Structure 1
Amino acid sequence: MKRYSLIVFLCSLMVISFTGCSNNETSQEESEDGVIHLTGIILKHPLTKDVNDIEWLKEAEDRAGVSIAWEEVTADWDQKKGAMLAGSDIPDLIVGPNAITDADFARFTGLFQDLTQLIDDHAPNVQAMFEEKPETKIIATQLDGNIYGLPKYQRFWPDTATRQFINQEWLDNLG
C-alpha cells in the first residue's frame, strides 16, 4: 500500500508541478546541485507528524529530484484557499483531500493547466492508474474534457463502506 501511495504521490507531484498555477516565478528555482526547489501546501490532520518527519515524503522528493518547502494546513483550509486562489498566489503543489475541487477549476479558470497531454507524454504511472481503474480517469476529467488534477486512489478501499454484522451465537440460539 505504501508503494502505491508513493506512486500516486510522485505522479501527483509531477503532474501538479506542471500545472503552472503559480504567479511566483521564482518558486521553481534550480540550485547548483541540480535540485529544483518547489513550494507546497499539504492538508493534514493536526495529530499527523510534521511533514519533515514523514519518511515517504522525503523519499518522494528524492525520487523526483526536488526539494519542497511545505506549508502545513491543519485548519480553516476553505478560508485560506479562497484568499489564495482569489489572489493568484498559489504554491507549486497542493496535496490533500478535496484540496482543490471541480468548482475551483471552474471558478478560477486560467489558474490551472490542462494536464491531458502532459499525462500522455510524461506520466506512465498515471496512465497505468487510468487503465487499471478507469473510474479514476472519469473522476479526474472535467466536463470540458480537460484534466486539471488527479484523484486520490487507495487500492484497498472496499467497494462499499456499509457492512452488516450479526452475532452468530445469538443467531444460533434463535435457531
Structure 2
Amino acid sequence: MSFTHINQNGEANMVDVSEKTVTARIARAEAFIEMTPSTLEMIVKGEHHKGDVFAVARIAGIQAAKQTSQLIPLCHPLMLSKVEVRFDVQPQHNRVRIETLCKLAGQTGVEMEALTAASVAALTLFDMCKAVDKAMCITGVRVLEKQGGKSGHFVANAKGHQA
C-alpha cells in the first residue's frame, strides 16, 4: 500500500481527484473532554461566566470543518452541505462526548473535516473552561464512520478498528 500524498519521487503532493466520480460522502467523528465533576456540573447548569459554552463550541466546530483545507496541508477545499456538532454529557465518566457529522456530494471524503470539527469543539470547551479546570484532558479523537467513494463504508468498532 502506498501513501496517496507522496509522489513517485517521495515528495509531498496534493492528490488529483479530478477524475473521481462525484458521490454522496459522509463522515462521523468523535472526541472526548474529561473534566472535574464540578466543571461539568457548571457547564450543564449554564452557570459558566462566559455563557453557553456548548453553543460556542458548536459554532467553533462548524467553522473548523469549513476551514480544514486552510489548516491541514494538502487537504482539498470542500463544499460541505452539512456539518453537525453534538454534545453528550456523560457525568458517570466526568466528560463530554463530542460527535460530528460532515456531508457533501463530491470527489473526496470528509473524514478530515469531521475530525477537525470534533477536535476544535473539544479545544473550545477546554479554552472556555481552563480558568476553572486546568487539568482537563482531550482524548479519543477518531473517525466513527465513513461512507462514499471507492473504498466504501467504514464503521469503527469500540477499539477503533473496522467493525
TM-score under structure 1 length normalisation: 0.23
Between structures 1 and 2, the one with greater strand share: 2
Between structures 1 and 2, the one with greater helix share: 1
TM-score under structure 2 length normalisation: 0.24
Flag the structure with more relative contact order, 1 or 2, with Cα contacts below 8 A and sequence separation at least 6: 2
